[in-house]
A and B are shown apart, each in its own frame.
Chain A
């Protein structure tokens, strides 16, 4: 009974489907061509009644495989949520009737389209199995927080407050990190009119009082093995004592380090003691102990101070940081207000070019600085001349003149650099460098790699991959905290430059993500972006050639290798993108409900009309993350799509097997359009590298076409964004035009 498969199809006639299509014929197609053992119609399948009908069939008649022919798989997800069966959806609404005009002459092709989608869905269903967790999952509620600065402390408190025990590891002898040494901080509450008290002491107390948080001072991670839900982590103290803990998910909050101001000789840093960085000024303010701030060289009370904004940051100059720390303008306002509060009538000038004060209270704090008589001058400093009184030479950008000012102290608003581990792909970047300059840069990065922070025992390296400028993230905007290592989240200034409030918000977000990851791992479910997915990849060992392409190309480092070089899947490290599946040259990798076969069957079951019918067929492989939703939106907007197109959603373009392309061409398809997300530098691929991998693999597709004696124009790969509502259908229609121009494929049988 358990092994017996029972296939049932359900055709919805609501939303105009019944009027536009011949439902009787669809039913016949499903049973005769699609080999469904039964097929039922319903006038509104997503209604409680329709859903109940399917539920009853599953419960009473033992239906194991369900094909629903109704709207897009992205619609009515809650209604058609049958977890006990294998499920597929034929997209007749967004895929057919909404993209075709309702006229008599189009009736025939519209019906053909719908019939094909039914055949495809049935064929897919035949080679699918119900996804279920691997059984290797385990729930471990312990969260490991790496770094005891404000981010780590907040993350620990937040996770503990949610009932998850925390191990907080700090390499120094005290909690607090960079913020711990600050005199005061940027205000985070209305009215944002003065620097606020340092929050670290209160946080330290909270952590001390929290029985759910174990603090490991003077400690580092010497070994991190396993996967979400079953990380095994060695925490080693300075003295060498090691404790091994079992962890569900990890938050890396290793913070930042100040930019090395010795690279700014033009500002006399290092030549004069009275030129300090913003980071160093905090110590002077603390040392002043409530009295006037004194300058380092001779202890004179500072009567005039000049802040130079963007010192060594936001600049293309050699050795400078190309990016902006985001927070340093607010920091300078805060520090200028120290002088106004502690040094009375001290003249404070902030030399800025672009003053940026982000955050809810940023603008108010800026006004507060102005109100306190801090002088803001739009100017670019070029030089600081040391002396008893320092001379700052600058270009006044408003008065358009070269001028100078004298002051007792110069503060350089320098940037933040991430305190991240070595980039696991540094070697790859050297290998793939396109020119010598790039190669030299990559080499320098590899040679100057910092010590490992996580010491991961992963096939793909010991630490989190970098995104840009050494920051560890996978996408600043779309997937914050998500790194390219599942179950390990980065938070705070190691992820991107940020201020205290942002770091604390970050910490809270990452804590929730980590909790989610631990819980998901306990259920065997995928994390973002296929959250909740139970399917996982497995491979047929007897077919595997140990080529290692899957272990190398997995964007998330999910696959290790065993001693013989076979892949070792770590289900809870996997994001279910299928990039391994697309990589495998011998096609042995598959998911229960998504495999080379499920797509191949769809391709093979499209009805290919004879050549003289002059009805071409265009295969569209659309990424389910951006391209497919764009097509759905196009349908909602009533944008027309060519009737020859047959769209198959794929998990990621990275999962596309070259065999689908060759098989489709051999089956008589006239054109193939592949739609993935934007790749490479400013990628939008939800699986980071999938789209790029696909582009690389498909770059060789021309050879395949040549061997088949086909025109290269027949296969095209596009980058499509979710907003390309007009463009995505146009790309399909363009292919139809191309086919018309170059003629039908000769491979029609």
Chain B
């Protein structure tokens, strides 16, 4: 368990709802849910969620901290915004789901091998290196994220697609050697660093 997680447990001992309000983006909306279930019914992936949004909100109120933060449900959100459009109370449900995902990741509670979480990390790391996404490397990282053997299998399976993309000049094999970056890479990195600082500052008492 991460230190930060321990700190948060200590701090919001009595109320997980208050913790969510303070630390999760748009978390202050959770209390306004009236449990109608329209979000869960509207979610195109709803049946694949272990806990649909309505349930997540109820679990937060019931103080089920571990269950919520280590759930992979909010990682299932594809940002289709159907729930936001339909919520009679106007809750920004999509944003709350992303907020919860971010928070669980910060606390180190995200389930291992959660594909969305893994992809997000790979995408982020890839992006940070050159200030732009290196598609070849992103693809390869995804292929090999579950080990070398699986990576080869994935690569073989998509061989044809890769060749066609190269033929159509949609992908350049040379990108494997470093690849090109944005014009002012260090400037880009400074921007990101500053943004991260601001965001951390926004999260109340979050150390």
Chain A positions near chain B (C-beta within 8 angstroms):
347, 355, 366-367, 370-371, 373, 375-378, 396, 398-399, 403
Contact = CB atoms under 8 A, between A and B. Distances in A.
Given A375-B17, A398-B54, A399-B55, A366 B62 contact: no
A367 B62 contact: no
Interface string B9-45: 0000011010000000000000110110000000000
A411 to B, nearest CB: 19
B31 A377 contact: no
B171 interface: no
Q: How large is the interface on B (under 10, 10 to 19, 20 to 34, 35 or more residues)?
A: 10 to 19
B61 interface: yes
A485 B58 CA distance: 51
B17 to A, nearest CB: 7
Given A377-B58, A377-B61, A378-B58, A398 B35 contact: yes
B59 interface: yes
A355 B34 CA distance: 9
Q: Which of B14, B31, B32, B89 gathers most chain A CB within 10 Å?
A: B31
Q: Which 10 A-B pairs have the closest CB atoms?
A: A398-B58, A370-B32, A378-B35, A370-B31, A375-B61, A399-B58, A398-B55, A398-B35, A373-B31, A399-B55
Contact of B34 (A366, A396, A399): A366
Contacts of B14: 347
A16 B89 CA distance: 56
A403 B32 CA distance: 23
Given A377-B62, A398-B58, A399-B62, A371 B35 contact: no
Contacts of B89: 367
B166 to A, nearest CB: 51
B17 A376 contact: no
A373 B64 CA distance: 17
A376 B54 contact: no
A366 B62 CA distance: 19
A399 B59 contact: yes
Contacts of B35: 376, 378, 398
Nearest to B67: A399
A373 B35 CA distance: 15
Contacts of A376: 34-35, 61
A396 B17 CA distance: 17
Nearest to B30: A370
A33 B31 CA distance: 80
Nearest to B58: A398
A425 B48 CA distance: 60
Contacts of A377: 58, 61-62
A483 to B, nearest CB: 38
A371 B55 CA distance: 19
A396 B58 contact: yes
B71 to A, nearest CB: 13
A377 B59 CA distance: 10
Nearest to B52: A398
A376 B14 CA distance: 17
A398 B54 CA distance: 8
Nearest to B28: A371
Nearest to B18: A373
B32 A367 contact: yes
Given A366-B34, A370-B32, A373-B17, 16 more contacts: A355-B34, A367-B32, A370-B31, A371-B31, A371-B32, A375-B31, A375-B61, A376-B35, A377-B58, A377-B62, A378-B35, A378-B58, A396-B58, A398-B54, A398-B55, A399-B55
A367 B14 CA distance: 23
A355 B35 CA distance: 10
A366 B33 CA distance: 11
